[in-house]
Amino acid sequence: MRRMRYDEPAAAAFRAGRHVPADGLAQWRAAVDRHLAPRPGMTLLDVGAGTGWWAQLFAAWYGVRVVAIEPSVAMRARAQAPQLVAGRADALPLAAGSLDAAWLSTVVHHLADLPAAAAELRRVLRPGAPVLLRSVFAGRADQITLLRFFPEAIRLVDDTYPQAATVRAVFAAAGFTVAAGEAVAQVSAPSLAAVLDGLDRDAHTPLRLIDDDAYAAGLTRLRAAAATATRPVIDTMDLLVLR
């Protein structure tokens, strides 16, 4: 896919409005509990950490040490992660066998060289350490409520994001085996009105990459729906666990 530049506007938008409320992540925490087995002294790698939101959550949830890797200068400038390091997934500035787990959230579609990233994760992780990969895969974008109002964005995801099978094959070639795969629900917002109120196009890769007319049409559909919808917005994303 076209690589999105995480420049100043994108980083500011991401920091301000991209994150799911922490109280909507109960099922994600339960899923992580099942596959991470957190313990005192564990060091977890957060790849493509953005502004450090997940790194902060993992530190708060489990008291583990989190090393956050982020290539964007603009993202790092806004980050509040416990330990943030400049770096790329395909050239991790870390010692071999030095980490107990890795977390990649909505980042796999940004990786220009996925095989190199998988090889680097195999290098820096201890034997048997899990990779927890949270993503929207090709063919699965309609699970995200916001994107349903922007069909061009769904087509972009389907055409340009990797399929889960592709990711599994790439990691298998790097020496990983698939430990689990599951769909995990989250409460992304209390209502569609809240989604609309907090929407910033710059914070969402598929919305930023569709043309202006498609975005305007989707925004009109979203406004019409938000005027009457009152239920919480529940989305589903996929978790792939590799070891």
Q: What residue spans define the domains of the chain?
A: 8-141+160-188+235-242
Q: Model confidence over 146-195: pLDDT tens digits?
A: 999 999 999 999 999 999 999 999 999 999 999 999 999 999 999 999 99
CA distance 8 to 240: 31
How long is the chain?
243
84 pLDDT band, cuts 50/70/90, is confident
Task: Give me the chain's average pLDDT, please.
Answer: 92
Look at residue 75 and give its three-state secondary structure: helix
What is the predicted pLDDT for the residue at 1?
43
Say how far apart CA 9 and CA 77 lie, in whole Å: 12
| CA torsion angle 134 22 195 164 (round to 10) | 10
Which one is the CATH code of 8-141+160-188+235-242: 3.30.70.100, 3.10.50.40, 3.40.50.150, 3.30.70.2860? 3.40.50.150
| pLDDT of 2 | 44
Closest alpha carbon to 25 in 193, 205, 234, 181: 234
Q: How confident is the model at residue 135 (pLDDT cuts 50, 70, 90)?
A: very high
> Is 5's pLDDT higher than 80?
no
pLDDT tens-digit profile of 30-51? Answer: 999 999 999 889 999 999 999 8
**Cβ-count burial 217-238 (b if 16+ within 10 Å, e if not):** ebbeebeebbeebeeebebbbb
Give the N- to C-terminal CA distance of the chain in Å, as an integer.
27
pLDDT at 14 over 60: no
* DSSP β-ladder status, 84-86 and 101-105: unpaired
Give the pLDDT confidence score for residue 18 in this predicted structure. 53
Q: Per residue in 202-223, pLDDT tens?
A: 889 999 999 999 999 999 999 9
pLDDT of 7? 57
Is the separation of the CB atoms in 171 and 162 below 8 Å?
no
